[in-house]
Amino acid sequence: MPEVYKFTSFTTSNCYILRPFNNDICIFIDLPPDLHEPLSYVKENKLTIGGALVTHGHFDHALGMQDFESSIYMNLEDEFLARNPQEQLAMFTDSELKAAQYEGDISNLESIPYDFIKTHHNPGHTAGSTSFEFTSLGLIFTGDFVFRDSIGRTDLKSGNNNKMIDSIKNVYSKFNPDYEILPGHGPSEKVSTISRGNIFIKEYLND
Ligand SMILES: [Zn+2]
C-alpha cells in the first residue's frame, strides 16, 4: 500500500492525507474537528495542500472545515449537515462542544480538479455519502459507508436503510477485490477480505 498518513480524531473518525503525485502536493480525506495534528504534519513535511475530499457531512468528518484553508469538495446533498453541526453535536456527545455554522466555500464533486479520482455516490448513511477511489494507488476511502467489520448506521437524518442496501449491492459489489478500503472509522482492509468477513456485507451481497 502506498504511504498514507492516518490521524484518528477524538471522535474516532479518521483523517487521511496522501500524496498521489509523488511530489509535495497532498490531499486530505475528511476533516474531523481536531485538525491540529494533521495540519502540523503538513507543515513539518513542507507539503502543499491540494484540497480535501469529504465523504459526508457529519461533524466528525466535516467540522474541521472551519480550520481548513484550501478547497473542499463534497456531495452537496450533505451540505446542510456540514454547515449545521450543532444539532448533531448535541445528539452525539455529552460534552459542551459548541460549533458555529460553517459559512465558507464547499465545491461539488464535479469540480474536483484531479480526473484520476473516481467518486462513488453511496447513499444510505447520509443522502450524499461518497467514496473516493484512487485507482492508480488501489485505494478506496469509504467514510461511513463500509467499515472493516460493519457498515454505517442509517437511522440518522437523511439516512435510509433501503438505499444503504442498494449501495452495497450496486456500488460496493463493483469495488475491485484487490483494492484496500480505508474507512471513516477503524482499520483498513482489503475489499476481498471484507467481502468474506463482514457479516453485513455478506448478507446484503448474497440475498
Ligand atoms: Zn457519519
DSSP state, residue 107: B
| Residue 199 CA, ligand 1 centroid: distance in Å | 20
- What are the phi and psi torsion angles at 66 (to 5°)? -60, -30
d(CA 57, CA 59): 6
Q: What is the grid cell recorded at 29?
A: 480525506
Q: Which residues are found with C-beta within 5 Å of the ion, ligand 1? A: 58, 144
Domain ranges of the chain: 4-206
| Residue 181 CA, ligand 1 centroid: distance in Å | 16
| Residue 23 CA, ligand 1 centroid: distance in Å | 31
Q: Is the pTM of this model over 0.85?
A: yes
Contacts of 58 (CB under 8 A, 6+ apart): 81, 88, 126, 144, 156
73 and 82 Cβ atoms separated by less than 8 Å? no
pLDDT single digits (tens) 21-51: 989 999 999 999 999 999 999 999 999 999 9
| Residue 6 CA, ligand 1 centroid: distance in Å | 18
Whole-number pLDDT of residue 95: 64
Residue identified by cell 502536493 is 25
| Residue 46 CA, ligand 1 centroid: distance in Å | 31
Among 68, 67, 76, residue whose Cα is nearest residue 26: 68
- What are the phi and psi torsion angles at 40 (to 5°)? -65, -40
Whole-number pLDDT of residue 191: 98
pLDDT single digits (tens) 93-110: 666 677 889 999 999 999
Fold of 4-206: Metallo-beta-lactamase; Chain A (3.60.15)
pLDDT lower than 70: segments of the chain: 1, 92-96
Length reported for the chain: 207
